[in-house]
């Protein structure tokens, strides 16, 4: 089955700098790659996703890139703000299959 | 959290006791899921339901059972709780089973002593 590895497990950046979180997946047939943000005491919430027919997708300060050949995808957050502090999860799935999540990254934005 | 209520929010229990967690939704979504979240493991699917009385196993279903007698309620039962089941449990819903439309509840922190 699918296996998703996420790095780093913790990340600390200065406010205003960029943050990058990377994930690799094992099943070349996976075609959907979402990112979830989990704030303290809450459930995960979808923030951006990408399909395998697209190499990059942006939404304001966040972007996701996908390299199908290398089987990895990344979350990029620019101009980080204190409210970006949270745990971020990547995931992968094939059509009609259930999501497989990465281990999570705790992102801390330092003022 | 998209009309999803999990209860209780926190529970402490002893090894060997039965425990039932409840997920209630007001969205009338067909699909409901139970995940557990553990450090170093992310979110792992326990069981899911694709309709009333229709359920299936996820990747970590051993030691858990589920029931869905109404569209709005999905129950997760630990028949005889073990310390390895100490975790945060999340319920999620989706309208058509498409993973792109997955909404999570706020979670239940369960401690088995």
B45 chain-A contacts, CB cut-off 8 A: 98-99
Tell me if chain A has a CB within 8 Å of the CB of B34.
Answer: no
What is the pLDDT at residue B27? 92
- Looking at the complex, report in whole angstroms how far the Cα of residue A98 sits from the nearest Cα belonging to chain B: 7
Contact B73, B9 (CB under 8 A): no
- Other beta carbons within 10 angstroms of residue B17's beta carbon come to 12
What is the pLDDT at residue B59? 92
Q: Which residues pair with A32 in a beta bridge?
A: A51, A93
Q: How far is CA A97 from CA A14, A77, A92, in A?
A: 38, 28, 9
What is the pLDDT at residue B74? 98
pLDDT greater than 90 at residue A77? yes
Q: What is the pLDDT of residues B24-49, one digit of tens each?
A: 999 999 999 999 999 989 999 999 99
CB spacing of B45 vs A98 below 8 angstroms: yes
What is the pLDDT at residue B49? 95
Contact B110, B21 (CB under 8 A): yes
- Looking at the complex, report in whole angstroms how far the Cα of residue B97 sits from the nearest Cα belonging to chain A: 8
Q: How far is CA B69 from CA A22, B12, B49, B53, B54, in A?
A: 41, 26, 11, 6, 9
How does the average pLDDT of chain A come out, rounded? 95
Tell me if chain B has a CB within 8 Å of the CB of A6.
Answer: yes
Residue of A nearest to B109 (CA): A41
What is the pLDDT at residue B1? 53
Q: What is the pLDDT of residues B43-101, one digit of tens each?
A: 999 999 999 999 999 999 999 999 999 999 999 999 999 999 999 999 999 887 777 77
Q: How far is CA A90 from CA A2, A35, A60, B47, B75, in A?
A: 13, 5, 19, 20, 27
Residue of A nearest to B102 (CA): A46
What is the pLDDT at residue A95? 74
Q: Which residue is listed with tokens 């979240």?
A: B37
Tell me if chain A has a CB within 8 Å of the CB of B44.
Answer: yes
CB spacing of A98 vs B58 below 8 angstroms: yes
pLDDT greater than 90 at residue A94? no
CB spacing of B42 vs A104 below 8 angstroms: yes
Tell me if chain B has a CB within 8 Å of the CB of A94.
Answer: no
pLDDT confidence band for B2 (50 / 70 / 90): low
Residue of B nearest to A99 (CA): B99
pLDDT greater than 80 at residue A88? yes
Burial of residue B13 (CB within 10 Å: 0-12, 13-18, 19+) is middle
What is the pLDDT at residue A18? 98
What DSSP designation does A44 have?
A: -
pLDDT greater than 90 at residue A80? yes
- Other beta carbons within 10 angstroms of residue A100's beta carbon come to 23
CB spacing of B90 vs A49 below 8 angstroms: no
């Amino acid at each position: 089955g699918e296996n998703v590895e996420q790095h780093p497990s913790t990340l600390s950046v200065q406010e205003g700098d960029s943050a990058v979180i990377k994930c690799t997946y094992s099943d070349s047939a996976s075609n959907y790659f979402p990112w979830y943000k989990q704030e303290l005491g809450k459930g995960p919430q979808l923030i951006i996703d990408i399909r395998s027919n697209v190499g990059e997708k942006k939404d304001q300060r966040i972007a996701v890139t996908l390299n199908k050949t290398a089987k990895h995808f990344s979350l990029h957050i620019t101009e980080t703000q204190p409210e970006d502090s949270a745990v971020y999860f990547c995931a992968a799935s094939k059509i009609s299959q259930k999501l497989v999540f990465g281990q999570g990254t705790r992102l801390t934005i330092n003022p | 959290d998209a009309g999803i209520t999990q209860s209780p929010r926190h529970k402490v229990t002893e090894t060997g006791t039965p425990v039932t967690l409840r997920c209630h939704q007001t969205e009338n979504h067909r699909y409901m899921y139970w995940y557990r979240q553990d450090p170093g493991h992310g979110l792992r699917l326990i069981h899911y339901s694709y309709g009333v009385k229709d359920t299936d196993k996820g990747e970590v279903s051993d030691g858990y059972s589920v029931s869905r007698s109404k569209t709005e309620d999905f129950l997760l039962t630990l028949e005889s709780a073990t310390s390895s089941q100490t975790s945060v449990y999340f319920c999620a819903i989706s309208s058509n089973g498409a993973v792109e439309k997955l909404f999570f509840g706020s979670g239940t922190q369960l401690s088995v002593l």
